[in-house]
Homo-oligomer: A and B are copies of this chain.
Amino acid sequence: MPRSLDIDALAAGVAQRAPRPLARAISLTESGHPDARAVLAALPAGREAHIVGLTGPPGVGKSTTTSALVTTLRAAGRTVAVLAVDPSSPFTGGALLGDRVRMGEHATDSGVFIRSMAARGHLGGLAAAVPQAVRLLEAAGFDLVLIETVGVGQSEVEIARRADTCVVLLAPGLGDGIQAAKAGILEIADIFGVNKADREGSEHTVSDLRTGIRLTARPTGAWRPTVISLSAQTGQGIAELLAAIEEHRAHAQRTGTWQRRRAERAAAEVEALVLAAITGKVHHQVAARLATGDGAASDPHTLAEQILTHW
């Protein structure tokens, strides 16, 4: 990090959707740098993007689908930013670019911004950093921000479900382990994409999902999840997926779900910031207590209580 940073210039660059300032500002939020806050405060207010979460188990074709969505959105003249949230990063210290490379075709298009984000190994890291990155991308004036996460793991699923519209991607024939992982993400979907439509079992997956949705009780007027069969490789169904995303947006804005989710997201961001600050303090307190004979002899609950009382 540079020692001095021209906050206003950086914020202005973000507002003009300039890729380098954007990338730099996101790095600041990702690393929890103190200047991130000043940059966020200097952004123009009132710009709103449609935040779409895309999640699903490994191997269902999330990045291929993301790439197909970007192509279709661009063909329609819409700008799009992609945040690929990479859960592997607490241990590698940086996001893997891996399959991002596949999106190389969009590299020279100024209407597209693609970025991997990593959890820096501290609790609440992504929960605080992702909403900040989203605010940067909204201020940059993108029409749509796509957040891609792996649909396994508490924090990753949480990020996707906090979008304005949450798309869960599935594919037929991924084996038992993945079936189990799937079950956890069924309840957060506004839209299901069933990828690999040409594969055996695809129609079965679609009809299973539709039956499940039909059998779930919902309040009158509530959104009923849509199931879209698609093939990200060939592009089949991508237009329908985008239409469903658009339909969900209209429904959410009409019914107030839009405002409610945004309020929840704002609250979650504040909570993450508070917890991130507290976590560090708790870590040091616990270490200090355990270093004394007294602390080491206590059971975990007693020790936790002593620390909480002290607070």
Contacts and interface: CB of A to CB of B under 8 A. Distances in A.
Given A99-B176, A181-B58, A290-B263, A186 B91 contact: yes
What class of interface size applies to chain A in its complex with B? 35 or more
Contacts of A157: 87, 90-91
Interface string A200-239: 0000000000000000000000000000000000000000
Interface in A71-106: 86-92, 96, 98-99
A275 B276 CA distance: 10
Interface secondary structure of A, over-half rule: helix
A282 B290 contact: no
Interface string A110-144: 00000000010001001000011000000000000
Q: Which of A155, A277, A301 has the most CB of B within 10 A?
A: A301
A279 interface: yes
Contacts of A61: 177
A1 interface: no
B273 A279 contact: no
A199 to B, nearest CB: 13
Contact of A180 (B37, B99, B131, B263): B99
Contacts of A277: 304, 308
A49 interface: no
10 contacts: A37-B301, A41-B299, A41-B301, A58-B177, A61-B177, A87-B184, A88-B183, A96-B184, A150-B181, A270-B300
The 3 closest A-B pairs by CB, nearest first: A153-B153, A88-B184, A273-B304
